[in-house]
Amino acid sequence: MAQCPIIVVGSANTDMILKMEHLPKPGETVLGGDFAMAPGGKGANQAVGAARAGGRVVFIARVGNDDFGARAIEGLLRDRIAVNYIFRDNVRPTGVALIFVARNGENSIAVASGANAALSPADVRKAASAFDGAGFLLTQLETPLDTVLAAAELAAQKSFRVILNPAPARLLPDALLAKIDILTPNETEAELLTGIRVAGARGARAAAAALKRRGVKTVIITLGPRGAFVSGPAVEGLAPGFKVRAVDTTAAGDIFNGALAVALSEGRALMEAVRFANAAAAISVTRWGARPSVPKRRELEAFLSGD
């Protein structure tokens, strides 16, 4: 089990998922899909990913004062996540994500942020006591950038490490990157942040170096089934992925980040922690849905042992 609490600051959504033969092209209507609804949001997915991997998790978020918000909190409680700092918004509804998933596992997502867009630096400051004794902050970009920066600054004051998953992709200021201990972009996000095409190890190495020059201490570029390229202060190289049959990649990145935070909080070496996170992501893509795909600790240990 994790040795120190993990603070997750981020989004909570309700996912509305449509499974279909292929993703619609612009102007195209695709018939015959299957519909499902599930809790989601990058922040909540990462919180659940960390909790099921064995972490002690506190989640800071904002949801609407509506049925979707109540269901989101209930679901997090079932995973033993501390919800004391999930704020209810009386003006904005809980965020909603519309997700198309093709037979080959590819997905297309549109998000109505709702209450997520109102999560504020003041909300983070109200949760300051939760940061005492924590070991890691894990955050993403489905909430306002000034809120992410406020959380990173508070983590720095408390002297614990910050993991930023820069998704959805957007440009980031050096003032934020300088406060990030571990940045976990995928290939698309790394290219947007650096202008360097990540098409292989050479591109990943160049992009990682560019991000480190801007102040990031460690860069982990996720490469889907190929694994992840890791560039830290004392180690650099590819952490290979696992061969599985993918059916839905919707939350793989979120689950990777949650598991990574847990492995590092347990004191594992960086490459070992990335292998643990790769395993969590690999298991997740073999299942439908975001939250239902998150593996539990015993599943991870069995997968890694080859059982």
**pLDDT confidence tier of residue 113, bands split at 50, 70 and 90:** very high
Query: What are the tens digits of pLDDT across the range 218-275?
Result: 999 999 899 999 999 999 999 999 999 988 888 899 999 999 999 999 999 999 999 9
Can you give the pLDDT at residue 3?
61
Catalytic one among 89, 123, 181, 254?
Answer: 254
Whether 248 sits among the annotated catalytic residues: the reply is no
Q: How many CB atoms lie within 10 A of CB 193?
A: 22
Q: Note the pTM of the prediction, 2 decimals.
A: 0.92
Question: Mean pLDDT throughout 77-81?
Answer: 97
Give the tens place of pLDDT for each residue, 151-207.
999 999 999 999 999 999 999 999 999 999 999 999 999 999 999 999 888 999 999
Return the closest-CA partner of residue 195 out of 182, 211, 183, 213: 211
Assigned CATH topology for domain 6-24+34-298: UDP-N-acetylmuramoyl-L-alanine:D-glutamate ligase (3.40.1190)
**3-class SS of residue 219:** strand
DSSP 266-277: TT--HHHHHHHH
Q: Output the 3-class SS for 23-85.
A: CCCCCCCCCCCEEEEEEECHHHHHHHHHHHCCCCEEEEEEEECCHHHHHHHHHHHHCCCECCC
- pLDDT at residue 13, as a whole number: 93
d(CA 170, CA 193): 7
How high does pLDDT run on average in the chain?
A: 94
List the chain domain ranges: 6-24+34-298
pLDDT of 1 reads: 47
Token pair listed for 20: 């279909």
